[in-house]
Structure 1
Amino acid sequence: MSYRYILFNKPYGVLSQFTDSSGEKRKVCASGSPGAKLFKRRTLKDYISVADVYPVGRLDWDSEGLMLLTDNGQLQHRLSHPQFGHPRTYWVQVERIPDVNAINQLQSGVMISDRLTRPAIVKLLTDEPLLPERDVPIRFRKNVPTAWLEITLTEGRNRQVRRMTAKVGFPTLRLVRVAINQLTLHNLQPGCLRNLTENEVKDLLK
């Protein structure tokens, strides 16, 4: 049987599922408009027409970046199950400049819902990463600087990165997943997808 393996760059404001059964709508205020209009929330169906593929893991509605989709149920289970920790790397824009103490806390683990997060790889980026502008700009405060962190986790608890940075005093403003295992976002643009190469599939299945 030939399986499908797809990489997708999820834009901001898109649910990481193919249907939205909640019926919720989001408010969008167009530039120069006196008020906000209600729109149905976007889902993967708005971007992906490939049948019978499902996302491996999730990205929050307000997060962006790399998603892997496949119809290989065994692989999907292995990469999604907590016991099979696999690295996921994020670029995280936070309010203010994290100090050494905050970095060390993120690396060693912080307490979330009475449970310590696993050790993480965290570094402060010296330059702002080259990313497309977000279609909804981040909130900006003139007198508050921002910084970018690169964080690699091997677990995927609910809104984990945002909760971790908030816990050490540096709230997340923008969150972009740039790698899953050895697969990277590279120059895949928001809303675009591509098939994995034969070599990428081999590496993924190892």
Structure 2
Amino acid sequence: MNAFNALLPFCRIDRFKKGEVVFTPDNPRVGMIVDGAVAVDYLASRESLSLTHRGTGRVVGAENVILGSCPFTAIATSPVTLAWLAPEKARGVLERLPHDQREVVLAELREAVSDLQKELLERIVLRELSARERILRTLRKLIAEEGRAIRITCTRLGRLCGVSRETTNHILNTLIEAGCVERQGQTLILRAI
């Protein structure tokens, strides 16, 4: 069970249309996605870095509770339902929870922040690599998570790496010719990467 559920009875539930602003630095929120997806721009500058959070139970805005603030904007990338609280109200609710339950919720929020920081660091590092290096690094990560047979489209792999579908396809074909990768439909079987 998602520890955020302890906060749900105190949450407001709103539905946002695709393209609507979900929250901003001036209107911070901590919430849980009920359905849909939210894109969060973590570096509000020319060097923008946007990550998409999707899936039921995904916590967004945990930084507002754990770190006290986080200057980002979130936009619905699809129709999204969000159960949310203002950070001050979330902290107040946490204070009233029994100690054990409060520690579980705080641990989940800390983990969400830690996972986000790791993902942001990985994305920043990836931006400095060539397209080929990004694809190889992403494939290695997928091997570690899913094993040697990975079901993924060129479009999805390209999105994960920040590389166009055409470039991804070209690099995969090069890896296939070199005997590093075998393609069976949408499944990639990785030999030696």
Greater strand percent: which structure? 1
Larger Cα Rg: Structure 1 or Structure 2? 2
How high is the TM-score relative to the length of structure 2?
0.25
